[in-house]
């Protein structure tokens, strides 16, 4: 007899649905038939250290920008595709209506069935093998830059679903779903970190004319970084540059501190410190060595393992019998590493002890311990295990149990404050970067690189991860698949059209309808997305809308940055944006009118002021006229501006533009008709 | 006839023309600012301003620092060569800038050797707390300057005429500012903006700064305000933490935007034409995009057996950000215990033997306990042992009392003087306490808030004196008991060491001889007897030569190009004038203490100074080697010729503007400080010779001058007491870091540091712009080098408060006295020519 309540039935159904979603490859992008057009790849300049950008036109007015990097010599020394960004240009030369859309990192792939199943196994902190083949489907994009808000809603929805439904479905469902989501999230974050690193390297390395504008580069960077924040997708575009710069500074700050901390600790413990740099010279990791000759010299010496988190080398019998990798380095009288032939150079045989990531908050994070392969894994797993046991086994939650909340807060404060190496934010960022470093850097000896690579794979906690070798193969295959997808008429071009159709919803529907359509999208797990049919008229409006958004954003940035525009900005650019808005005043709203008024107040340039007033006149909204009235009323202004605003107001009244009754009254009383 | 004029008509015309010409000529002098707005930017190097101003932002087509470019490059005047005079360190530098008088505060932290009282000039937290509790009205540096009778620039303006933001020489706390900062943060932004801010991370540090800006802008509408300042350390923080160009640029662009907003508000204010906007910085900073600044821990050196096994006191917690206690903002003195102490194991609480101040980080000051106190302490411990042979015991006993006798005269003199001074201090405390009672009860003639502030100030001063009185009494008590000991029947087992050797005290400063033979413990073989049965003082004790020790430090991890593996550049110490008497020729003799610079045994120098009757300072650099201090206090050294790698590297510096043909002769001569400044300011160490003198010299002020006529006996004693207190904060060793090295142990400053005498760290920023009537030149750059002493007199010249270089009665009344610095006349007078460099030379010709 079936005694399940309707609620339980729904729960079961949703759980089944979840399993299907977990096991199914990600939903394939639907196809729209399009005229096939063979795109031609156009290679941009290559930098000295091997970064190259390829520009591939896509049918329906878009381009795919792909960054290639040269791999280390033991990876064949060949170049591999690293990252692609899709720019929707609407098929014209106007940069102002371009829209950046998808970001792909080619090592980011859809996991295999086995990987997905393993990712859902609680307490399985291990890799389960590689994905062998990328398949022929287009690779999954890492991020849609133009749909950052959508990601926020998706995240909220899944969190709600987890807490309301899965968490109440018993240990198995709760633990499995949480483990899967965590692994999936970590896998994605790791590739976001890698995407950021690639972009940063490309920016600093390429000598060619930049393909991304500064604004675009920072926008991509900031949007990638903001994926970590709950409401990151909602951050106003004008803050993106500031946020990106702030985060970049913080990363460099952390890196510098860790570099110096590790150097000082190495010095104090009589070890050798070697920074490991990416091709652009930025040291993101460091290696610690011990000199074989010092093992006897300092035998039995005290060792302060705080921050280093490795065993005392001076009391370690394993090192005296070391059969692993060694390297002989030469140093001059000032302890500088020099080539062996340097006169007076002293040879020192070095044994590697550990590799640390320098971008980790607070302390350098141990990634490889050459004497104890499980040491980093234990440290990483400590936090995961603590969280998993508390949440899944003991059913404790920070928000549901005050004592747990307090205890955890104190524990976290102490470990964080003291820089204890356990219970720290996950190391996947540092691992991800190290993988990139191993792939790209020429500075590491091949044998050591291989050794480190193998150790890294053993340390990985995430069943969704592939090893470095597999990633290179997958990247190449996924790149080919993406290219193929871009060439197919029913491929990327069709996807772009569909995306434009979705983007046009805001042009065709009011706010309430849009909220309804958004809800439908979320509740259908993304299977239903409302799209407009792309007509030439709508397409033109879309271009205009994007261009207006570009000019509004520019003007908002301008007025926010300075009280006197012409001191800081090229006033021609400001005039151009005002002119564009004035020319398309029918398409803009009261917010834009307010923006024009702020420009008027912050400039002394006659032409810009005239244009600002012209905008206020042409924008048919109550706020625009209210702003004109304010200008007229401002006695500090020169008479000519007040007269001009009066003239515009008279015209507006005559043309029966939208004006509030109080403003009409004020106009008729003070200005007349 | 028609063209002939009456003689009287001609005369009249001539007079008229003369009057007009006279008026025109004096026009610049008459122009003056009625209001000054000063933006104080901590650690802003001029080279960075210069670099970014001249870079074009591709997005805007304008300068990367558009406001600075417009205001100070196009419409105002900037100084291309403005230097801090002294160490490039915030507290001393702002002390110079805010007073216009010679340096009295010699570090961000100063320690009283006798009492270990620490003057922490940077820590805002205790000040804010005490202010909230009505126990303190001024930051410690302002309190000290009050004690020394040196007014601050803001003291020239009444309380209703000035606005001061939070800063090192702060008077009072604007609590309302903090409150408004919080409320305005939420009310001045839309919910959407607040949400974005929350998502991106709230900037708590910017909270009060934003409010200060609002308050300055608001007050500009009130013509009563004549002085407003805004102090920011954001740029300094950025350069300490990060070395990258983008971070520096962004921090500087924030300053630039602030300048733009304030200038716009000035332009819209009623006093626009008579308002001057000044940007000033206290020092530069040594930051390089290609290099991480590397730290070296002097604490670890001093704690080590090789370094003497000291228990080390600091006012900054080592690895502060990595300790739980580091979260506590009211930092007490921090003791870092040595496990390798030779004779004071487990006694770190009572007997720390080293004090370290490493702030700024390119330099550190070390106080070591009087080596003779160590000697007595060790002998006391040895004599307390039961296993000493009678001969050794007798010899140790004799050595103990011989040491006491050797110091007796000096200590007895000090004790007698201090007893007198403490007596006078007690009477002053009583007097001031009585006055405090009156002030608290009688406020009829003053406003309530002013009365409160004055009484809080007085109460703080009395409380400080009482603390000092107790501390000194403890010290002189122990020393008196030590001097009262007699050899006969002396049995340390019946005595407690703390009754004789003052606890938590460094005692007197060490001589060079002591620092070269510093006693840190008993020799490995124990006390040894000489042939005559006396204690062999050489063999019985472990000793450290600190100069050699510091000069020998090297590191094994030298992974950055262009960085030396030696963290220490040179060590500077005072050499008493008398110590040099037998070693110098008559024409070399200084009239004040000299400074010994130790680079290595064979690379040393003496900086000699003498002052003409006119007050003009002359300095001389004498290259020497192998200086040794003698037990009698004298020094001996070897004279050497000029060569490369001497301290300050003048000989090899191509930018030294000395005659090419006879550089050695020029360098071997006495030169006035102005000649040195003009000749050396572009070298790697810029004005280091003058800066070192400023740092080491004891600069007299009226309140330190016991010989001033008209003083009562107590006033005389108190002046002597104050002078003694200033001497007691003088460190034994000033250690300067090599390029791109630092001594920070509180955390890590990989971005960059300052504190040294490198030009990159001392080269600072000073720029002016003003309304039509201020007389400030437009689009001018002043190449003539100036230093921090010029700032205050130039501001007063700008505001007409220093007519003809003379102090107005109003300023005199406020305590201002003659300023030693030169007024920057080129700021006002286009005709003023920059004097040529030293005759016959030109760095440009090289």
Contact assignment for A567 to B750 by CB distance below 8 Å: no
Please indicate if any CB of chain B lies within 8 Å of the CB of A335.
yes
| Beta carbons of B533 and B703 less than 8 angstroms apart | no
Residues in chain B with CB shorter than 8 Å from the CB of A564 are 260, 264
Q: Is the model's pLDDT at A280 over the cut of 90?
A: no
The length of chain B in residues reads 846
The yes-or-no verdict on residue A25 having pLDDT over 80 is no
In whole angstroms, give the CA distance from residue B201 to residue B187.
Answer: 18
Burial readout A196-232 (b: 16 or more C-beta within 10 A, e: otherwise)? bbbbbbbbebbeeeebbeebbbbbbbbbbbbbebebb
Q: What pLDDT sits at residue A88? A: 94
Considering CB atoms only, which of B238, B264, B292 is closest to A260?
Answer: B292
Tens-place pLDDT, residues A363-394: 999 999 999 988 998 888 888 888 888 888 88
Enumerate residues 546 to 585 of chain A having a beta carbon within 8 A of any beta carbon in chain B.
Answer: 561-564, 567-570, 573
- pLDDT score, position A528: 86
Give the pLDDT band of residue A319 (cuts 50, 70, 90): very high
Whether B59 has its CB under 8 Å from any CB of chain A: the answer is: yes
Is a pLDDT exceeding 80 seen at residue A612? yes
What angle in degrees, to the nearest 10, is found between the helix axes of B140-147 and B448-484? 80
pLDDT beneath 70, residues of chain B: 1-30, 442-450, 833-846
Q: DSSP code of A123?
A: T
| B242:A256 CB<8 A | yes
Per-residue pLDDT of A642-669, as tens digits, reads: 999 999 999 999 999 999 988 888 888 8
Please answer yes or no on whether B322 and A334 come within 8 Å at the CB atom.
no
Banded model confidence at residue A14, pLDDT cuts 50, 70, 90: very low
Report the side by side order of strands in the sheet with B162-163. Answer: B162-163, B227-232, B35-41, B275-281, B766-770, B77-79, B780-782
CB neighbour class for B111 (10 Å; exposed up to 12, middle 13-18, buried from 19): buried
CB B353 within 8 Å of CB B369: yes
Higher pLDDT, A36 or A517: A517
- Give the separation between CA A573 and CA A567, rounded to whole angstroms: 13
Separation CA B790–CA B784 (nearest Å): 12
Q: Report the pLDDT value the prediction gives residue A19, as an integer from 0 to 100.
A: 43
Taking alpha carbons only, the member of A173, A73, A197 closest to residue A449 is A73
Residues of B in Cβ contact (< 8 Å) with A336? 558-559, 565
- Cβ-Cβ contacts under 8 Å, A601 against chain B: none
- The per-residue pLDDT for A59 is 87
The beta-strand segments (E) located in A332-441 are 346-357, 365-369
**Dist CA B430 CA B62 (whole Å):** 64
Q: Could you identify the residue written with the tokens 């005659």?
A: B659
| Number of inter-chain CB pairs under 8 A, A vs B | 138
- Nearest CB among B321, B322, B555 relative to A267 is that of B555
Q: Provide, rounded to the nearest whole percent, the portion of chain A with pLDDT above 70.
A: 90
H helix or E strand, kind and range, residue A265: helix A240-268
Q: Which two tokens stand for residue B55?
A: 């870079």
- Looking at residue A210, its pLDDT comes to 65
Q: Are the C-beta atoms of B597 and B604 separated by less than 8 Å?
A: yes
Band of pLDDT at residue A72, cut at 50, 70 and 90: low
pLDDT beyond 70 at A349: yes
Cβ-in-10-Å burial (0-12, 13-18, 19+) of A399 comes to exposed
Beta-carbon neighbour count of residue B676 at 10 Å?
A: 23
Q: What is the pLDDT of residue B93?
A: 97
pLDDT (0 to 100) of residue B839: 35
Round to whole Å and give the CA distance between B659 and A384.
71
Helix and strand tally (H, E) in chain A?
24, 11
How far apart CA B748 and CA A357 sit, in angstroms, is 17
Question: Does residue A169 register a pLDDT over 60?
Answer: yes
Contact state of B67 with A567 under an 8 Å Cβ cutoff:
yes
Burial of A301: CB neighbours in 10 Å, binned 0-12, 13-18, 19+: middle
| B809 interfaces chain A, CB cutoff of 8 Å | no
Residue A73 has a pLDDT of 56
Q: What's the confidence (pLDDT) of residue B842?
A: 37
With an 8 Å Cβ cutoff, is B191 touching chain A?
no
Chain B contact present for A235, CB below 8 A: yes
For A613, list phi and psi in degrees, rounded to 5.
-65, -35
What predicted TM-score, i.e. pTM, was given to this entire model? 0.90
Residue A39: predicted pLDDT? 39
Does residue A503 or residue B275 have the better pLDDT?
B275
Strand runs labelled E in B406-503: none
Other C-beta atoms closer than 10 Å to the C-beta of B511 total: 25
Do residues B154 and B227 make contact, with C-beta atoms less than 8 angstroms apart?
yes
Q: Mind telling me how many Å the CA of B499 is from chain A's nearest CA?
A: 37
Query: Which pLDDT value is given to residue A2?
Result: 44
Residues of chain B neighbouring A568 (CB-CB closer than 8 A) = 60, 62, 66-67, 260
The verdict on a CB contact (< 8 Å) between A226 and B322 is no
Per-residue pLDDT at A23 exceeds 70: no
Closest Cβ–Cβ partner in B247, B324, B555 for A417: B324
């Amino acid at each position: 007899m079936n005694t399940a309540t309707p609620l339980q039935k729904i729960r079961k159904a949703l759980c089944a649905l979840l399993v299907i979603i977990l096991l199914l490859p990600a939903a394939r992008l639907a196809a729209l038939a399009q005229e096939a057009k063979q795109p031609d790849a156009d290679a941009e300049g290559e930098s000295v250290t091997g970064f190259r950008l390829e520009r591939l036109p896509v049918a329906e007015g878009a381009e795919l920008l792909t960054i290639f990097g040269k791999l280390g010599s033991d990876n064949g020394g060949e170049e591999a595709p690293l990252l692609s960004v899709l720019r929707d240009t609407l098929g014209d030369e106007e940069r102002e209506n371009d829209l950046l859309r998808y970001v792909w990192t080619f090592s980011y792939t859809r996991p295999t069935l086995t990987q997905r199943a393993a990712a859902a196994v609680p307490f399985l902190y291990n890799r389960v093998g590689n994905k062998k083949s990328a398949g022929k489907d287009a690779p999954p994009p890492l991020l849609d830059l133009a749909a950052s808000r959508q990601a926020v809603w998706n995240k909220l929805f899944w969190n709600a679903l987890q807490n309301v439904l899965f968490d109440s479905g018993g240990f198995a469902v709760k633990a499995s779903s949480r483990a899967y989501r965590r692994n999936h999230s970590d896998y994605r974050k790791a590739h976001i970190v890698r995407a950021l690193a690639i972009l940063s390297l490309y920016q600093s390395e390429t000598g060619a004319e930049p393909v991304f504008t500064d604004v675009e580069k920072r926008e991509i960077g900031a949007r990638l970084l903001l994926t970590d924040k709950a409401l990151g997708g909602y951050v106003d575009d004008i803050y993106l540059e500031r946020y990106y710069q702030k985060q970049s500074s913080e990363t460099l700050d952390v890196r510098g501190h860790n570099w110096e901390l590790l150097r000082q600790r190495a010095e104090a413990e009589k070890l050798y410190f070697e920074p490991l740099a990416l091709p652009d010279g930025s040291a993101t990791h460091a290696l610690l060595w011990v000199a074989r000759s010092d093992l006897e010299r300092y035998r039995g010496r005290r060792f302060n393992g705080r921050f280093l988190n490795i065993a005392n080398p001076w009391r370690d019998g394993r090192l005296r019998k070391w059969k692993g990798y060694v390297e002989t380095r030469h140093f001059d009288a000032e302890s500088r590493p020099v080539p062996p032939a340097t006169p007076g150079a002293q040879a020192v045989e070095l044994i590697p002890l550990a590799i640390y990531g320098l971008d980790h908050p607070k302390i350098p994070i141990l990634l490889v311990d050459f004497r104890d392969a499980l040491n980093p894994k234990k440290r990483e797993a400590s936090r995961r295990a603590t969280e998993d046991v508390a949440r899944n086994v003991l059913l404790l939650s920070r928000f549901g149990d005050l004592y747990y909340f307090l205890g955890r807060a104190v524990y976290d404060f102490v470990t964080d404050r003291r820089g204890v190496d356990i219970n720290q934010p996950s190391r996947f960022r540092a691992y991800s970067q190290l993988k990139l470093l191993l792939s790209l850097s020429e500075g590491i000896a091949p044998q050591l690189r291989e050794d480190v690579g193998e150790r890294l794979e053993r340390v990985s906690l995430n069943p969704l991860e592939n090893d470095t070798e597999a990633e290179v193969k997958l990247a190449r295959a996924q790149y080919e698949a993406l290219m193929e997808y871009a060439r197919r008429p029913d491929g990327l071009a069709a996807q772009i059209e569909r995306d434009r159709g979705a983007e046009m919803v805001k042009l065709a529907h009011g706010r309430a309808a849009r909220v309804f359509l958004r809800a439908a999208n979320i509740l259908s797990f993304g299977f239903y997305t409302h799209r407009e049919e792309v007509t030439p008229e709508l397409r033109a409006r879309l271009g205009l809308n994007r261009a207006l958004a570009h000019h509004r954003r520019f003007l908002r940035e301008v007025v926010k940055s300075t009280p006197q525009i012409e001191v800081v900005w090229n006033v021609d650019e400001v005039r151009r944006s005002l002119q564009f808005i004035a020319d398309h005043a029918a398409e803009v709203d009261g917010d834009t009118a307010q923006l024009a008024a702020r420009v008027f107040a912050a400039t002394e340039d006659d032409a810009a002021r005239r244009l600002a007033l012209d905008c206020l006149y042409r924008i048919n909204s109550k706020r625009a006229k209210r702003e004109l009235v304010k200008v007229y009323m401002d006695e500090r202004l020169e008479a000519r501006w007040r007269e001009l605003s009066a003239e515009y107001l008279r015209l507006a009244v005559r043309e029966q533009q939208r004006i509030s009754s109080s403003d009409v009254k004020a106009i008729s009383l003070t200005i007349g008709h | 006839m028609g063209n002939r004029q009456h003689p009287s008509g001609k005369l009249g015309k001539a007079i008229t023309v003369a009057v007009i010409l006279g008026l025109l000529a004096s026009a610049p002098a008459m122009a003056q600012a009625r209001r000054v707005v000063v933006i104080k930017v901590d650690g802003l190097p001029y080279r960075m301003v210069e670099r970014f101003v001249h870079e074009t932002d591709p997005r805007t087509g304008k300068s990367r620092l558009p406001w600075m470019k417009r205001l100070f490059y196009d419409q105002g005047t900037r100084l291309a060569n403005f230097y801090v005079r002294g160490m490039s360190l915030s507290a001393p530098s702002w002390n110079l800038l805010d007073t216009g008088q010679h340096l009295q505060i010699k570090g961000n932290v100063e320690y009283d050797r006798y009492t270990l009282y620490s003057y922490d000039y940077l820590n805002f937290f205790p000040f804010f707390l005490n202010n909230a509790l009505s126990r303190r009205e001024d930051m410690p540096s302002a309190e000290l300057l009050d004690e020394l009778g040196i007014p601050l620039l803001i003291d020239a303006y009444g309380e209703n005429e000035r606005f001061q933001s939070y800063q090192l020489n702060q008077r009072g706390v604007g609590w309302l500012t903090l409150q408004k900062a919080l409320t305005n943060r939420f009310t001045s932004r839309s919910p959407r903006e607040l949400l974005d801010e929350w998502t991106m991370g709230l900037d708590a540090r910017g909270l009060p700064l934003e409010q200060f800006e609002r308050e300055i802008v608001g007050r500009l509408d009130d013509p009563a305000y004549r002085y407003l300042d805004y102090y920011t350390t954001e740029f300094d923080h950025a350069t300490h933490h990060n070395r990258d160009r983008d971070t520096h640029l962004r921090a500087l662009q924030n300053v630039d935007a602030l300048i733009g907003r304030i200038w716009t508000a000035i332009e819209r204010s009623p006093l626009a034409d008579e308002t001057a906007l000044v940007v000033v910085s206290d020092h530069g900073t040594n930051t390089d995009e290609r290099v991480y600044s590397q730290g070296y821990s002097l604490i670890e050196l001093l704690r080590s057996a090789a370094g003497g096994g000291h228990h080390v006191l600091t006012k900054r917690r080592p690895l502060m950000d990595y300790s739980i206690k580091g979260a506590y903002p009211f930092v007490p003195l921090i003791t870092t215990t040595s496990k390798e102490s030779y004779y004071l194991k487990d006694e770190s609480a009572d007997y720390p033997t080293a004090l370290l101040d490493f702030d700024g980080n390119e330099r550190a000051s070390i106080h070591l306990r009087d080596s003779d106190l160590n000697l007595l302490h060790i002998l006391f411990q040895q004599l307390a042992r039961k296993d000493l042979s009678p001969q050794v015991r007798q010899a140790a006993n004799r050595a103990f009392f011989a040491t006491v006798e050797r110091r007796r005269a000096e200590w007895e003199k000090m004790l007698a003087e201090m007893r007198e001074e403490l007596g006078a201090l007690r009477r002053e405390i009583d007097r001031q306490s009585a006055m405090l009672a009156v002030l608290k009860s009688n406020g009829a003639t003053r406003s309530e808030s002013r009365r409160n502030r004055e009484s809080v100030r007085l109460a703080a001063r009395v409380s400080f004196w009482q603390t000092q009185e107790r501390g000194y009494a403890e010290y002189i008590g122990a020393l008196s008991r030590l001097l009262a000991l007699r050899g006969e029947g002396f049995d340390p087992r019946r005595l407690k060491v703390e009754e004789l050797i003052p606890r938590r005290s460094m005692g007197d400063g060490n001589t060079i001889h002591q620092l070269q033979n510093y006693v840190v413990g008993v020799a490995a073989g124990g006390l040894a007897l000489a042939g005559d049965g006396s204690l062999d003082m050489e063999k019985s004790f472990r000793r450290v030569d600190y100069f050699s020790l510091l000069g020998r430090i090297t590191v094994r991890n030298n992974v950055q190009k262009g960085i030396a593996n030696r963290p220490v550049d040179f060590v500077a110490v005072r050499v008493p004038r008398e110590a040099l008497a037998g070693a110098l020729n008559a024409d070399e003799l200084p009239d004040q203490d000299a400074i010994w610079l130790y680079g290595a045994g064979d690379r040393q120098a003496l900086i000699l100074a003498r002052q003409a009757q006119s007050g003009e300072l002359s300095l001389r650099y004498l290259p020497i080697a192998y200086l040794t201090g003698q037990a009698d206090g004298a020094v001996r050294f070897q004279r050497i010729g000029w060569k490369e790698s001497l301290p300050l590297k003048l000989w090899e510096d191509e930018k030294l503007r000395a005659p090419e043909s006879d550089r050695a002769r020029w360098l071997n001569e006495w030169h006035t400080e102005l000649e040195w400044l003009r000749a050396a300011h572009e070298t790697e160490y810029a004005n280091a010779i003058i800066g070192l003198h400023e740092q080491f010299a004891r600069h007299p002020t009226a309140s330190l001058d016991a010989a001033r006529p008209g003083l009562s006996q107590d006033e005389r004693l108190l002046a002597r007491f104050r002078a003694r207190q200033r001497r007691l904060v003088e460190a034994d060793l000033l250690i300067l870091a090599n390029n791109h090295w630092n001594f920070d142990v509180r955390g890590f400053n990989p971005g960059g540091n300052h504190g040294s005498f490198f030009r990159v760290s001392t080269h600072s920023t000073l720029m002016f712009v003003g309304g039509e009537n201020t007389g400030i030149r437009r689009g001018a750059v002043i190449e003539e080098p100036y230093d921090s002493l010029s700032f205050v007199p130039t501001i007063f010249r700008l505001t007409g408060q220093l007519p003809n270089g003379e102090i107005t009665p109003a300023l005199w009344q406020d305590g201002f006295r003659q300023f030693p610095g030169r007024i920057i006349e080129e700021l006002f007078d286009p005709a003023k020519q920059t004097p040529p460099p030293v005759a016959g030379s030109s760095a440009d010709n090289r």
